[in-house]
Amino acid sequence: MNIQLRRAALPIVLVVTALGAAGCSSGHSSTSKSAVTIKNFAFAPSPASATAGQPLQVRNADDTAHTFTADDGSFDTGPIAGGQTRAITPRAPGTIHYHCSIHTYMTGTLSVSR
């Protein structure tokens, strides 16, 4: 292979190698697997799951404010405006029932694992 061809091929090899490495996965994600969305005056998924000690993102996709409030008082986001996101961090494994303190008919269950 002549020197000009090697110089042209090197950037291609580097890009392909970088793309291949970026596509590899160890099965772990750097983003939180846990998230709850509030939409149409309902929590989803239902039931939701989280890992103790890890943040749980709560996104309000409605136009009105909602809360994500544990029945046992272990967490409360306070009002989340439409289009906003808040996070809570469940501390202990178990099942936690929650509700929206503004619209009390909105309820759900959070399963927290270790």
Instruction: Give bridge partners of residue 101 from the DSSP assignment.
Output: none
Angle at alpha carbon of residue 111, lines to 81 and 45, rounded to 5°: 50
Domains, in order of start, for the chain: 35-113 (2.60.40.420)
Mean pLDDT (the chain, rounded) = 82
User: Tens of pLDDT along 22-54?
Assistant: 333 333 333 345 899 999 999 999 999 999 999
**Furthest-apart CA pair in the chain: how many Å?**
74
Instruction: Give bridge partners of residue 109 from the DSSP assignment.
Output: 97
**By three-state DSSP, how is residue 49 classified?**
strand
pLDDT of res. 34? 84
